[in-house]
Amino acid sequence: MSEQFQHFFTELAQRFRNENDLSDFTYVALEAIPEFKKDFVRFFHPLLEIGDDEIQVIREFTLESTDEQPSGRPDFLLRCGSWDLIVENKIGDRNYHFDQYGIKPLLSGREKPHVGLIANHRVEPEPQAKDWAIKTWSEFIEHFEKKKYSDYNDVFLAYMEYVKKVCAMTEFKNFKFDFNSLYALTHFIRMIERALQTDSNNTYEISNISKGTKWDIGESWAGCCFELKSKSQASNAHLNLFFGIDFSKESGIPSIVADVHKSRNSNYFQAVVEQTTSSQFCEKKHWPKDGLVQLRMRMEKFNEINNESNKEKQLEKLKEYLNICCNAFLTATPKT
Distances (CA, A) of 174 to 145, 165, 171, 177, 252: 18, 20, 10, 10, 19
Query: pTM for the full model?
Result: 0.58
The share of the chain scoring above pLDDT 90, in percent, equals: 41
Lowest mean pLDDT among 102-106, 185-189, 257-261, 322-326: 102-106
Q: What is the pLDDT of residues 122-134, one digit of tens each?
A: 888 788 788 899 9
- Which of 308, 312, 273 is CA-nearest to residue 290? 273
Q: What is the pLDDT of residue 6?
A: 52
Mean pLDDT of 52-69: 78
Mean pLDDT of 64-92: 81
| Contact predicate 221/256, CB 8 Å | no
Mean pLDDT of 155-183: 76
What is d(CA 290, CA 277) in angstroms, rounded to the nearest whole number? 19
Q: What is the pLDDT of residues 320-336, one digit of tens each?
A: 999 999 999 998 877 65
Q: What is the pLDDT of residue 100?
A: 85
With cut-offs at 50, 70 and 90, classify the pLDDT of residue 105: confident
Mean pLDDT of 19-27: 82
Q: What is the pLDDT of residue 13?
A: 43
Mean pLDDT of 114-128: 86
Q: Three-state SS string across the chain, please?
A: CHHHHHHHHHHHHHHCCCHHHHHHHHHHHHHHCHHHHHHHHHHHCCCCCCCCCCCEEEECCCECCCCCCCCECCCEEEEECCEEEEEEEECCCCCCCCCCCCCCCCCCCCCCCEEEEEECCCCCCCHHHCCCEEEEHHHHHHHHCCCCCHHHHHHHHHHHHHHHHHCCCCCCCCCCCCHHHHHHHHHHHHHHHHHHHCCCCCCEEEEEEECCCCCCECCCEEEEEEEEEECCCCCCCEEEEEEEEECCCCCCCCEEEEEEEHHHCCCCHHHHHHHCCCCCCEEEEEEHHHCEEEEEECHHHHHHHHCCCCHHHHHHHHHHHHHHHHHHHHCCCCCC
Q: What is the pLDDT of residues 264-298, one digit of tens each?
A: 998 889 999 998 888 899 999 998 877 899 999 99
Q: What is the pLDDT of residues 205-242, one digit of tens each?
A: 999 999 877 678 887 899 999 999 999 877 888 999 99
Mean pLDDT of 132-159: 87
User: What mean pLDDT value characterizes the chain?
Assistant: 85
| Contact predicate 180/27, CB 8 Å | no
Pairwise pLDDT comparison (48 vs 3), residue with the higher score: 48
Residue 15 has pLDDT above 60, yes or no: no
Q: What is the pLDDT of residue 61?
A: 86
Residues pairing with 283 in the sheet: 296
Residue 108 has pLDDT above 90, yes or no: no
Q: What is the pLDDT of residue 106?
A: 84
Residue 17 has pLDDT above 60, yes or no: no
Mean pLDDT of 306-330: 95
Pairwise pLDDT comparison (109 vs 282), residue with the higher score: 282
Distance of alpha carbon 273 from its chain centroid, rounded? Answer: 23
Domains of the chain: which residue ranges?
A: 2-166, 181-330
Residue 118 has pLDDT above 70, yes or no: yes
With cut-offs at 50, 70 and 90, classify the pLDDT of residue 65: low
